[in-house]
Structure 1
Amino acid sequence: METLIDKLLVEQSNLQTPVAQFSKIHNNHELRTDLYKHLIPLEKPSKVEQYTFQVELDKCTGCKACLVACHTLNGLDEDEAWRDVGLLEGGDDAPGFQQTVTTACHHCLEPECMHGCPVGAYEKEPDTGIVRHLDDQCIGCEYCILKCPYDAPKYSHKRGIVRKCDMCHQRLTEGEAPACVQACPTEAISIIKINTATLRIENNFLPGAPTPEITLPTTRYVGRDVPASIKAADQSQLTLQPAHWPLAFMLVLTQMGLGLSIASLFTSTTHAVMGALIFNAGMVAATLHLGQPLKAWRFFLGLKTSWLSREILAFSLLAPIPLILAALPFLPESPLKDLVSFASKISLIPLAALAIFTSAMIYHDTGRVLWNLKTSLSNFLLTATAASILFISPNIFVITILALIALEITFLLPAKQTSWSPHQHSARLRIHPLAHVTFFRLLSAFLTIPVAFVSPWATLPILVISELCSRHLFFTSVQAPKMPGDLN
């Protein structure tokens, strides 16, 4: 008895390439070249061209056959999807407007995923323009996910790496259409060749999607005109972003550990030992964020373009210093000890500042509005300053805490705005679904003020908890750019 799987396998084996289909039509019928069209090019791109997706908006029904085909033929995990279907709606002019949009990786001319990867796990094929992810090189840091404004790379928890659409390049090589193209019942998706020089000049993209200026996405959306005032249907949904707890702990503990190490230059060995312990706890926490931590030694491959590579280098240069400062009092006197002590003390503050700057730049470079350099760097430096000054001057510590509280309050003010903006979106998240975290962040920050005058050591854990709440808000309340999605 023939099963459904047997039938599908037979059907798949009988699929023909575009050339074969064209030949069959040519032999059996009078060919009308003005009407015949296929869904992939019959020739490879020239030196000034590359492959790209073309989506005919008039034909997309939102049936999601492309999602199913992509998921099935690429063998994706149950919770993994490389293609999405979203919804555009609105427009200032009557009648109302609604449009379904299918989207995957745009194989950009300037792919930020590739530029941000610290280990060179991305490449843009010179002959096709396809941006491919090299699974065996990936360390699972997820920085490409933060860098991509279209939410194209997807993290595979099962494998501990990121994966994404590669335009089914193996099928294209054999003259066969990608899974999504082949599965669309209305032929809304096709592969075309596009002139890259023209694309750089025109720089047109889909209204309601993130700006194309940064990465120069190549996907062509054609069909009926989309109103310029259109917006994504899920734009105002209060969706929390991933908390990234290992990164939250890394940021707080490394910054506070450095603050204590700096305080030890003016206080006692106890602060140096505690600073080294806290700092290295933060360094260990950072590795927990990696899906493939044993491959992280190749970070130097991205130094030219990736701020994550530069942060790893900065912290690698800095890491021995807190340990040296903690160990110095226990070493016998010698000229070498004096030299090491002088070099460590004089380099601690500039290297700490450099490391914290690279941490801020990692998030600023993603283009997410809440993570701009001024805000991120101020937040990170104030955390280190608070830990440092706590044991030197309680009065200055109070000023530092008030500055942190003021910064936190500024994040809430845009909630009063009537029109949507990334800042307003983040403020609404902090006031509604994250209200308890915001409240605890402010309460614990205020609590450190009276406790600091009684016992700085009792203040320290309260400060750690307060700053962890701040980093939790930092990650979960950011407005992450993405292609239009569905209403949940």
Structure 2
Amino acid sequence: MTALPLMESALLSTAAKSLVQIEFEPTPLIPARPLEAGEQYRFHFDMTKCIGCKCCVVACNEQNGNPAEINWRRVGEVEGGHYPHTQRHHLSMGCNHCLEPSCLIGCPVEAYTKDPATGVVLHSADTCIGCQYCVWNCSYGVPQYNAERGIVGKCDMCHNRLGDGMAPACVAACPEGAIAIEIVNVAAWRTDYLAANAPGLPSADDSISTTRVTLPENMVPDTDRVDLQHVQPEHPHWPLVFMLVVTQVSIGAFGVLWLLDLFGQGGGLTLGALASLGLAGVSLAASTLHLGRPIYAWRALKGLRRSWLSREVLTLSLFAGAAGAFAGMLLFDLPGRGVAGFFTVLAGVAGVTCSARIYMVAARPAWFTGYTLAEFFSTALLLGPFFVEMLLTQTPGASSPGWVRFVVAGGAAAQLIVQLLKFLWLSGSEAFELRASSLLLSVRLQALLLARFGVLVVAGILLPLMATGTWTITAAFVAALAGEWLGRYLFFVSVVPKNIAAAFTSGERLAA
């Protein structure tokens, strides 16, 4: 009969009292005071508490009605040390609500806003056209494309729940209290954001992430992501593969047509101008197939102040208009064609530049280089003159000066040099993303890369300089066109983005 008193005595022990004290003094999950001027909300993630249960992931999906394959919050893993003294830690990450959000800066339709009251980066589903440019811009892989809805979505820190005084779903669901909302002074954080960096995360320098990460005190120095070998090719984005190459064919062709007409060195140029104009129209129409909501493509002009995608839409539209005027003046033999041709070429050069700058973003290191600009212009230099040469050789009574073929060969040689130098640069880099891109090209995509090099040499250099037959030139152009499509396919599928660490058991993650 002494069991009950003994149990009651145990409940009054020091250990029990401390347990009760912890239970009734939990760490606050959301700030108790309102924001003051110059402050915003941010996430705090405590790696010492996270057990990798992914309750936060499930709660986020349930709160936002997302399917299982779309995660606005993800849990990855990092590990380090040497057996038997190894460590593994978990890393939970949603949107970092950055001070310089790259998703907001790149969006062509201004679907992103940074709430002036809370600092939360918000996304408008109604405004979004599903171009996915924000996906490429974010170094953390936060925006997620929903193919069923045709739009992108992301964590908004459960903005509505915060407004009602409730913690975000992920914060409330965490059984260990590893995620919390806290207040940060924006000016102070901008000068010192070292606490936003952690193993398994890209550098906060890209966008000044505001998420504060608490790391274990005994974390070993070589701690790194566990998914370093889990990389596979990215989606090819076929409409963009088609559109980019064909627009560059058209731009390069109009450049040659303008010079031939300007110096009176060619006959039968009208057909070439009309055909090149047709290519421009088809390629621009095809570009809308990449959008999740193509009916709203016109909105892409809203972001001219900061989005290269908006600038591409404008410059290529101007190119198409100027090209139409130049082609019409050729057709009716009107004066002033030189001026119209000049503005056509000027708009085309601006269009190719804007197209390249779209992809030159810090979150995609293999694209974030001058090689991207050189690759796009080399395509125009190779295929544009080649298209004109093919048409003129097929047109009775038309003629083409010999220098056009030398330009074709020069464009192919330039493209070959660009690709070789880029591959050597990727292979020699110490950055994980760049090395991974080179491994994709040299192992999984090796046959396609060698085929691209072979087409450049044979169809781009040798045949234009040596071939005399009409149909040989035509076949060489078709092969060169296919080779550039192959090159643009490799451009998209071989890029490995910056991203947060994934789980070891999550399988191969998409490259972008």
Match of 1:19 in 2: none
Match of 1:284 in 2: 285
Over 3 Å counting, the alpha-carbon distance change for 1:424 and 1:98 in structure 2 is same
How far is 1:144 from its partner? Answer: 0.5
How far is 1:55 from its partner? Answer: 1.0
Within 5 Å, which residues of 2 pair with 1:65-464? 65-90=55-80, 95-204=85-194, 205-208=196-199, 209-225=201-217, 226-227=219-220, 229-265=222-258, 266=260, 267=266, 268-331=269-332, 337-339=334-336, 341-390=337-386, 391=389, 392-413=403-424, 417=428, 421-448=432-459, 449-452=461-464, 453-454=467-468, 455-464=472-481
Higher mean C-alpha deviation, range 64-73 or range 418-427? 418-427
On the 8 A contact 1:135/1:163 being kept in 2, the answer is yes
1:386-431 Cα shifts (integer Å, max 9, x gaps): 1233325323422321221222223433576595543321110011
Higher mean C-alpha deviation, range 152-161 or range 198-207? 198-207
Following the alignment from structure 1 to structure 2, what is the Cα–Cα distance between the partners of residues 352 and 304? 20
Bigger radius of gyration: 2
Higher mean C-alpha deviation, range 112-121 or range 370-379? 370-379
1:128-154 Cα shifts (integer Å, max 9, x gaps): 111010111111110011111100000
Match of 1:4 in 2: none
Following the alignment from structure 1 to structure 2, what is the Cα–Cα distance between the partners of residues 44 and 201? 23
How far is 1:326 from its partner? Answer: 3.2
Q: 2:59 corresponds to which letter in structure 1?
A: A
Following the alignment from structure 1 to structure 2, what is the Cα–Cα distance between the partners of residues 93 and 128? 45
Following the alignment from structure 1 to structure 2, what is the Cα–Cα distance between the partners of residues 338 and 228? 72
Following the alignment from structure 1 to structure 2, what is the Cα–Cα distance between the partners of residues 215 and 270? 49
How far is 1:190 from its partner? Answer: 1.1
Following the alignment from structure 2 to structure 1, what is the Cα–Cα distance between the partners of residues 422 and 439? 10
TM-score normalized with structure 2 length: 0.83
Over 3 Å counting, the alpha-carbon distance change for 1:389 and 1:223 in structure 2 is closer
Higher mean C-alpha deviation, range 157-166 or range 310-319? 310-319
Over 3 Å counting, the alpha-carbon distance change for 1:324 and 1:458 in structure 2 is farther
**Percent of pairs with identical residues:** 33
Unaligned runs of 5+ in 1: 1-29
3-state SS of 1:162 partner: strand
How far is 1:468 from its partner? Answer: 0.9
Q: 1:250 corresponds to which letter in structure 2?
A: M
Higher mean C-alpha deviation, range 287-296 or range 409-418? 409-418
Q: 1:398 corresponds to which letter in structure 2?
A: A
Match of 2:483 in 1: 466
Following the alignment from structure 1 to structure 2, what is the Cα–Cα distance between the partners of residues 405 and 418? 20
Following the alignment from structure 2 to structure 1, what is the Cα–Cα distance between the partners of residues 406 and 176? 70
On the 8 A contact 1:360/1:373 being kept in 2, the answer is no
Higher mean C-alpha deviation, range 378-387 or range 258-267? 258-267
Q: 1:357 corresponds to which letter in structure 2?
A: T
1:128-187 Cα shifts (integer Å, max 9, x gaps): 111010111111110011111100000011111110001111111111111111111111
Following the alignment from structure 1 to structure 2, what is the Cα–Cα distance between the partners of residues 227 and 281? 56
On the 8 A contact 1:44/1:128 being kept in 2, the answer is no
On the 8 A contact 2:365/2:498 being kept in 1, the answer is no
On the 8 A contact 1:106/1:218 being kept in 2, the answer is yes
On the 8 A contact 1:117/1:306 being kept in 2, the answer is yes
C-alpha RMSD of matched pairs (Å) = 2.4
On the 8 A contact 1:86/1:100 being kept in 2, the answer is yes
How far is 1:270 from its partner? Answer: 2.5
Match of 2:52 among 62, 69, 79: 62
How far is 1:364 from its partner? Answer: 1.3
Following the alignment from structure 1 to structure 2, what is the Cα–Cα distance between the partners of residues 109 and 486? 27
1:223-249 Cα shifts (integer Å, max 9, x gaps): 413455432211333322221111111
Higher mean C-alpha deviation, range 377-386 or range 92-101? 92-101
On the 8 A contact 1:252/1:468 being kept in 2, the answer is yes
Unaligned runs of 5+ in 2: 1-19, 261-265, 390-402, 508-512
Following the alignment from structure 2 to structure 1, what is the Cα–Cα distance between the partners of residues 384 and 485? 17
How far is 1:72 from its partner? Answer: 1.2
Aligned length: 454
TM-score normalized with structure 1 length: 0.87
Over 3 Å counting, the alpha-carbon distance change for 1:418 and 1:216 in structure 2 is closer
On the 8 A contact 2:198/2:213 being kept in 1, the answer is no
Following the alignment from structure 1 to structure 2, what is the Cα–Cα distance between the partners of residues 403 and 471? 16
Over 3 Å counting, the alpha-carbon distance change for 1:78 and 1:88 in structure 2 is closer
Match of 2:396 in 1: none
On the 8 A contact 1:412/1:427 being kept in 2, the answer is yes
Following the alignment from structure 1 to structure 2, what is the Cα–Cα distance between the partners of residues 162 and 484? 21
Following the alignment from structure 1 to structure 2, what is the Cα–Cα distance between the partners of residues 92 and 327? 72
Match of 1:49 among 34, 39, 44: 39
Higher mean C-alpha deviation, range 82-91 or range 259-268? 259-268
